[in-house]
Amino acid sequence: MTETRHGDAGEEGRGPGPGAAVAAPGPGPLRADVRRGLRAGLATFWDLIKMMVPAYFIALLLERLGVIAVLAEGAEPVMSLLGLPGEAAVPLVVGYVLNIYAAIGAMQALALSAQQVTVLAIAVLIGHNLLVEGVVLQRAGMNGVAFGVLRIVAGLAAAGVANLLMGVV
Amino acid sequence: MGPVTDFLRTFVEGAGGLALRMFVIVVPIMVVMEVLEGTRPFRAFVRAWARLVGRWLGMSEQAAAPTVIGFLFGLAYGGSLIVRDTRRHGLRRRQVFQMSVFLSMVHAVVEDSLIFVAVGASAFWIVVYRCAWAAVVTVVLGAVAVAFVERRRARRPRPPV
């Protein structure tokens, strides 16, 4: 998981490490930080690509085969409340089940306006990776399922309100 | 051009463009973040900010720190800090609930937001608006939870002393 890796990187950066008390020999701390950042950045980049490209491939394939058009028709009534086309339900659900990287991959197969990208981004950023993150919340002593529902509902509500506000502002 | 060739061409172009946008935006910012994290002013900023936000959201100082860490670096990391601090400081259940609500709305704010900015989402809406939304949801649900617990407590007959 990327976030776990992030955590590890964060931990390294916090608090005086074992080497901090001694004057660091060799490359300065800035150079070391840059190198570590580069490594973390490339690792994240690779994680993104690993999810995004296959998701994009599958979504594009489904779109060409006409499958998304069928799904979109069913989702249209709900999605239109957010100012989104029916097919935007595909990246949304992909985000709920998998993660935001896969959602972005699936999003690339659709033609969306800048405002629609932002509205969809709000819903996906609030509700995503619900299975894995639900387990994390469960471990913190909360009800993972209830939080999953909360994130879906609050995410859609936030997206809907944003869509209305963007029309006004 | 046949449909298969067209599909492959669209795929290669789309995937290449996506990879390029991610690389150009995500990698440099991750380097900047890594360098910043180690600096004293940044840590002082995080601490000051944790106190301030904690007060707005009605969190104790002990609850605010892991919340800010999760907010910046991700739910997996913030969540494990919550688990650790719950044991260490005996965080109250209401605190844990509020931290969880806030973090389930916004976490890993730098990285996750960047990725969407890279594909054209508005930074204002996905960062500022989303944080404001998370704060409102946290405060409202916190109040609802308190009212709920108190009502249930009031309804239950007191055990004989």
Q: Where are the domains of chain A?
A: 28-168
DSSP class of residue A86 equals: G
Q: Among all residues of chain B, which has the CA nearest to that of A166? A: B125
Distance from the B122 Cα atom to the nearest Cα atom in chain A, whole angstroms = 6
pLDDT at A43 over 60: yes
ipTM for the predicted complex: 0.83
C-alpha torsion sign, points B156, B158, B160, B161: positive
pLDDT at B159 over 70: no
The fraction of chain B above a pLDDT of 70, given in percent, is 94
Tokens 């599909």 correspond to B7
**How much is the pLDDT for B101?**
93
Mean pLDDT of the residues in chain B = 85
pLDDT digits (tens, 9 = 90+) for A61-79: 988 898 888 888 899 999 9
CB within 8 Å: A37 and B32: yes
Give the span between the Cα atoms of B21 and B123, in whole angstroms: 15
Q: Which residues, including other chains, have CB under 8 Å from residue A53's CB and lie 6 or more apart?
A: A105, B15, B18, B19
The fraction of chain A above a pLDDT of 90, given in percent, is 49
Q: Which residue has the higher pLDDT, B125 or B61?
A: B125
CA distances from A133 to A94, A97, A102 (A): 15, 11, 16
Who among A38, A104, A122 is closest to B31 (CB)? A38
Local confidence band at A16 (pLDDT 50, 70, 90 cut-offs) = very low
CA atoms within 13 A on the CB side of A164: 6
**How much is the pLDDT for A27?**
56
Low-confidence winner among A35-44, A76-85, A112-121 (lowest mean pLDDT): A35-44
pLDDT digits (tens, 9 = 90+) for B96-109: 898 899 999 999 89
DSSP class of residue A87 equals: G
Give the span between the Cα atoms of A47 and B112, in whole angstroms: 13
Q: Among all residues of chain A, which has the CA nearest to that of B108? A: A3
pLDDT digits (tens, 9 = 90+) for A117-169: 999 999 999 999 998 888 888 887 889 999 999 999 999 999 999 999 998 87
Question: Which residues in chain B have their CB less than 8 angstroms from residue A41's CB?
Answer: 26-31, 34
Q: Which residues, including other chains, have CB under 8 Å from residue A38's CB and lie 6 or more apart?
A: B27, B30, B31
**Among B residues 116-155, those touching chain A with beta carbons less than 8 Å apart:** 116, 119-122, 125-126, 129-130, 133-134, 137, 141
- Mean pLDDT in residue range B11-40: 84
pLDDT at A11 over 70: no
Measured N-to-C along each axis, helices A89-97 and A130-139 cross at an angle, to the nearest 10 degrees, of 40
Q: Which residues, including other chains, have CB under 8 Å from residue B2's CB and lie 6 or more apart?
A: none
Q: Which residues, including other chains, have CB under 8 Å from residue A41's CB and lie 6 or more apart?
A: B26, B27, B28, B29, B30, B31, B34
pLDDT at A26 over 60: no
**Residue of A136, A137, A145 to mutate, interface with B, max B Cβ within 10 Å:** A136
pLDDT at A82 over 70: yes
Tell me which residue of A131, A128, A81, A130 sits closest to A107, measured CA to CA. A128
